[in-house]
Amino acid sequence: MSMRINLGVAMVCMINATAVQQQHHHSSSHEENAIIHLEPPPSLQSSNSPQCHRIISANETETAIKSGYKGTFTWTTEEQSLLFTASFYGNLLSLAFGGFLINRFGSKQVALVSALGMTATTALMPTAAYLGIYYFFAVKVVFGIFESPIYAALATSLSLWFPPNERSTAASFFTSGSPLASSLGTLISTQLCSSDFLDGWPLIFYFMSIATIAWILIWILFFTNNPKHCRMLSVKEKEYLSKENEGHSHPDGEEKPPLPLANIVSSPATLAVMFATFAHYFTTSLMQNFLPTYSRDVLALDFKSNGAFTSMTFTFKFLSKYILSFTADFLKSKKILTPTISSKVFQSAASFGVATVFIFLTFYIDCTKQSEALFVLAFYGIFAAAANPGYFTSACSFAPMYTGMILSLMEGAGAIGHLAAPFFVGLIVKHGQTNEWSIVFGMIVLVNIVGGFVFLRYGTADIQKWAHPKTSSSNLITLESSKKAERKESQCSLLKKKASELLQCVC
């Protein structure tokens, strides 16, 4: 996850802000010692408002160097948006077979191959960038092909390793890589980018590759597809998981039933999850990829402040994810909320809360309100974290046997959201002005409101009728024999009780 997320910071570091602004003001760039005045946002152009525009010398890079925006490349906003979408084209290519591979080979094997491919392509990205933008784009597409199946593989494991009342908390661990990479990873990336060694920014990609190799080793040594086969679990723990997840997996030693693809695709529960996923990923893509750019252009932050600012936003998301997920599981365990009501309540908080945050960003925040912006974005982190016990827990609950395929479809909707966000930013944001970002934020408000209402109407965490495993003939015979034995035992107990009562009466 961190390999994709930290491209947002890496991109700001890779781009030479001075040169790009000179391209936007080509008419002035021919004048020696010309000064480029970046216009303040329209909301600040009144005589009573302070102006936050930056002044950049056309024949010097000193200002950019001091601010930290001294990168190697002069890619335009449209080209940067194209690069942000590259991995999601790869996601779409692999979504069609990701669920089938998991069903055929198992979660461990699919996740392992995916992680190895992601590691190799990430290590190649700096070389590809130096070769040219289209080489970089191609490598990121291949990265996306390997990336997509890993999420479905991990979610499939989650549905087997955790009982229903613990899945929100478990899902918070499962998805914690995203906010952790966005918070801690952003701080690390900022420091690496400031280094003069290898121009700084390639170190981000190499660091992420090494970190993933460490994860791969842990995965190989400790993970098993099914808790039944885990040597580290006691018999009691295995029996507990088997009992809690009874009917949620296919019995060992029997032929797997055909995948009910038509039921999965046409289910309102699946469609509700896909709508919510699209809205969540559309927002997440923009925040992960473009928050550093927004902070630079609209809030006028220098590079190190930008990194700290971005990190704080996702730190709140990281911490809130655990608190909200634990709260959701606690409410379910105490029977205060049913699994379905819990998912709807928390997803509503996520969708409508995030929409409220971006309304504030649109109409209230500018470069004179940096502290207020941090406060508002902290609430973005809190509300966005509620999606974990919301739609994500629902996706892992209403058809546990087929979580891999459902997550593949969910990631497909998410990939479209990821593609749409950079495309929309590239279409609207040309000069980094507040009015341009306001249009982008308005679209986020609309998307989240629609996604929230769809999930509120059709979302569920109850197992669907078509998602229950079909009991084989041998199991039916065993079940019937068990029921007959129980009836006989009950009859015997009743006869003994009556005989005891008769003896007491005789005495």
Query: Which residue carries 């469609």 as its tokens?
Result: 271
CA distances from 461 to 273, 366, 396 (A): 10, 41, 8
DSSP string, 208-273: HHHHHHHHHHHHHHH--SSGGG-TTS-HHHHHHHHHHTTTSSPPTTSPPPPP-HHHHHH-HHHHHH
| Cβ contact 182:3 at 8 Å | no
* pLDDT computed for residue 380 by the predictor: 92
* pLDDT computed for residue 279 by the predictor: 95
Give dist(CA 187, CA 165) in Å, integer. Answer: 35
Cβ density class 169-182: b for 16+ within 10 Å, e for less: bbbbebbbbbbbbb
Closest CA relative to residue 3, chosen from 107, 116, 108: 116
CA distances from 259 to 149, 287, 406 (A): 17, 36, 11
Mean pLDDT by runs of 10 across the 507 residues of the chain is 61 64 49 41 42 46 47 76 81 74 80 91 91 91 86 75 72 68 70 77 87 89 78 77 62 59 88 94 86 79 72 83 89 90 94 94 81 87 91 86 80 85 84 84 95 94 79 46 53 59 56
**Angle formed by the axes of helices 403-428 and 133-161, to 10°?**
150
Give dist(CA 88, CA 324) in Å, integer. Answer: 29
Query: Which residue carries 């809190």 as its tokens?
Result: 382
| Cβ contact 186:307 at 8 Å | yes
Give dist(CA 340, CA 272) in Å, integer. Answer: 12
Q: Is 15 helix (H, G, I), strand (E, B) or coil?
A: strand
pTM for the structure as a whole: 0.68
* pLDDT computed for residue 93 by the predictor: 80
| Cβ contact 59:29 at 8 Å | no
| Cβ contact 187:308 at 8 Å | yes
| Cβ contact 443:272 at 8 Å | no
**Angle formed by the axes of helices 177-193 and 303-333, to 10°?**
170
DSSP string, 17-41: HHHHHHHHTHHHHTSTT-EEEPPPP
Burial of 489 (0-12, 13-18, 19+ CB in 10 A): exposed
Give dist(CA 261, CA 43) in Å, integer. Answer: 51
| Cβ contact 417:483 at 8 Å | no
E strand segments, 14-116: 35-37, 55-57
CA distances from 289 to 50, 77, 310, 506 (A): 28, 12, 11, 87
Task: Residue 254: count other Cβ atoms within 10 Å of its Cβ.
Answer: 11
CA angle (276 as vertex; 271, 280 as ends), nearest 5: 145
| Count of residues making up the chain | 507
Query: Which residue carries 């971006």 as its tokens?
Result: 358
Give dist(CA 436, CA 81) in Å, integer. Answer: 15
**Angle formed by the axes of helices 434-458 and 339-363, to 10°?**
160
Give the DSSP letter of residue 364. T
CA angle (29 as vertex; 51, 440 as ends), nearest 5: 50
Domains recognised in the chain with CATH numbers: 17-67 (no CATH), 71-250+265-467 (1.20.1250.20)
